[in-house]
Amino acid sequence: MPDYGRDLAFGYFLVPNAADPLLDTARELGRAGFDCIGVQDHPYQRRYVETWTLLAMIAARTERIRVFPDVANLALRPPAVLAKAAASLDVLSGGRCELGLGSGAFWDAIEAYGGTRRTPGEAITGLGEAIEVIRLLWSGQRDLRFEGRFHRLAGATSGPVPAHPIGIWLGAHGPRALRLTGRSADGWLPSLRDGDVGALVEGAARIDEAALAAGRRPADVRRVLNVAGTLTGGRSEGLLRGPADQWVDELTDLAVGLGFDTFVLWAEEPEQWRRFAAEVIPGVRAQVAAERA
């Protein structure tokens, strides 16, 4: 797969545990050199604070770092209101909000919170409709109308217009969701699961094929990857489980070999993300720049 030549970015997957010093951590992440913070969206998890409230607080307490839901739970968030929230946060933060979007998961918990259970096919149909609704609500136009199977607008007025073109990044894995990503989304936001790079290769190929079929360039779809592993001081124990120079090599391969431009780290121990910021981020930037040159 090609390298699309985008500037690299590095983020952190901040678990929204209410008992943790979330805002202090966010400020420290910004000082350490991270570019963005992603927050999962599971309102039914009793230990978590609400995702959009946390994103807004992080944006208010920081000056540079970008924020996004990783990914917003469409099953519990009407897309028109979700569009309003994202646009508002983007305006208030000076253009520092992106929108990770998912069709929903954990359906028992969603139903417990008043949401509607959908089949996988229904969920993807609703996700495609939501993208259209959200973009209409960011257009600045009046008398917006949309009639879908699950979502509708009946003469809505949009606003505020986002401060910058917010990217809609889909947390997509299945074939239909991948085709939707290539056809309609601004970015792909998968997770590297159990070191399965093969799934990323297959997913990227489906997205590129769908983008070309829709008259788009594959490079129009940004590639953002959630990664987890362990930085060690010794020998390799597998993909992203080893010393910093191994991480640099492996993330460089994902960038120049598969076209990923943003890596979002999930690490439970602060020492892990501090090492990642100090040793891995500058190493990947330098190595990718050298290989591109």
Q: Is the peptide bond before 160 cis (omega within 30 degrees of 0)?
A: yes
pLDDT digits (tens, 9 = 90+) for 39-89: 999 999 999 999 999 999 999 999 999 999 999 999 999 999 999 999 999
- Backbone φ and ψ of 264, nearest 5°: -110, 115
> 1 pLDDT band (50/70/90 cuts)?
low
DSSP structure string for the chain: -----PPPEEEEE---BTTS-HHHHHHHHHHHT--EEEE---TT-TTBPPHHHHHHHHHHH-SS-EEEETTEEGGGS-HHHHHHHHHHHHHHHTS-B-EEEE----HHHHHHTT-----HHHHHHHHHHHHHHHHHHTS--SSEEEE-SS-EEEEE---PPPSS---EEE---SHHHHHHHHHH-SEE--B--TT-HHHHHHHHHHHHHHHHHTT--GGGSEEEEEEE-EE-SSS--STTEE-HHHHHHHHHHHHHHH---EEEEE-SSHHHHHHIIIIIHHHHHHHHHHHH-
pTM of the full structure: 0.97
Residue 194 pLDDT = 82
What mean pLDDT comes out for the span 116-133? Answer: 97
> 222 pLDDT band (50/70/90 cuts)?
very high
Residue 195 pLDDT = 87
Residues 6+ apart with CB under 8 A from 177: 103, 124, 127, 170
pLDDT digits (tens, 9 = 90+) for 268-278: 899 999 999 99
Residue 252 pLDDT = 98
pLDDT digits (tens, 9 = 90+) for 238-281: 999 999 999 999 999 999 999 999 999 999 899 999 999 999 99
The burial of 132, by beta-carbon neighbours within 10 Å (0-12 exposed, 13-18 middle, 19 or more buried), is given as middle
CA distances from 219 to 129, 230, 287 (A): 23, 30, 21
The answer to whether residue 161 scores a pLDDT higher than 90 is: yes
Cα four-point dihedral sign 179, 88, 143, 80: positive
CA distances from 170 to 2, 114, 144, 155, 177 (A): 20, 23, 24, 27, 8
What mean pLDDT comes out for the span 191-199? Answer: 91
The answer to whether residue 210 scores a pLDDT higher than 90 is: yes
- Backbone φ and ψ of 226, nearest 5°: -80, 125
